[in-house]
Amino acid sequence: MEITGRIIQLLPLQTGQGKNGVWKKQDFVIETEGQYPKKVCISAWGDKVSEQMLVVGKEVNVSFDIESREFNGRWYTDVRAWKVEEAGGAPVEPYYAAPQQSSTPAANKNAAPEFLITAEDSKDDLPF
């Protein structure tokens, strides 16, 4: 799965020692754009933790997997990033872009419509 959004928060870096060696985990929160923006907390593990890529305010594309597991009768869900990349060269600043001026002239509200409705068109011509 993939999601695009702006990084709005970096949680503290977590590190530890396991049987396979040292590990590190970075949780970060991104906010999607649109009419109803969503906030999603995503985990990056190991070499996916990049200080250059995980910067507050940066627009990123995140490829991720969702996994749930049960422990003592409760279910826990992880959103784990497997690739983080900068979104399509979009500028990182400012947080909200200013409205752009349109270079096309405004449509004439009194202009004639581009189509005409005839009496034949108003018949019920449904095939059933």
Q: How far apart are CA 127 and CA 31, in angstroms?
A: 47
**What region does 106 belong to: left with phi over 0, alpha with psi -120 to 50, or beta?**
beta
**Structure confidence at residue 109 (pLDDT):** 53
Question: pTM of this prediction?
Answer: 0.63
**Structure confidence at residue 93 (pLDDT):** 43
**Pair 62, 2: CB distance under 8 Å:** yes
Q: What are 86's strand-pairing partners?
A: 60
Whether cis (ω within 30° of 0) applies to the bond prior to 12 is no
Fold of 2-86: OB fold (Dihydrolipoamide Acetyltransferase, E2P) (2.40.50)
**Structure confidence at residue 92 (pLDDT):** 41
Q: pLDDT (tens digit, 0 to 9) for every residue of the chain, 128 residues total?
A: 999 999 999 999 999 988 888 899 999 999 999 899 999 999 998 877 777 778 899 999 999 999 999 999 999 999 999 999 998 754 444 344 445 555 555 555 555 555 555 555 555 655 65
Q: How far apart are CA 53 and CA 113, in angstroms?
A: 50
Name the nearest CA neighbour of 55 among 8, 90, 16. Answer: 8
At residue 34, φ and ψ (nearest 5 deg) are 125, -175
**Structure confidence at residue 117 (pLDDT):** 54
The CB-based long-range contact list for 34-37 (8 Å cut-off, 24+ gap) reads none
Q: How far apart are CA 7 and CA 12, in angstroms?
A: 14
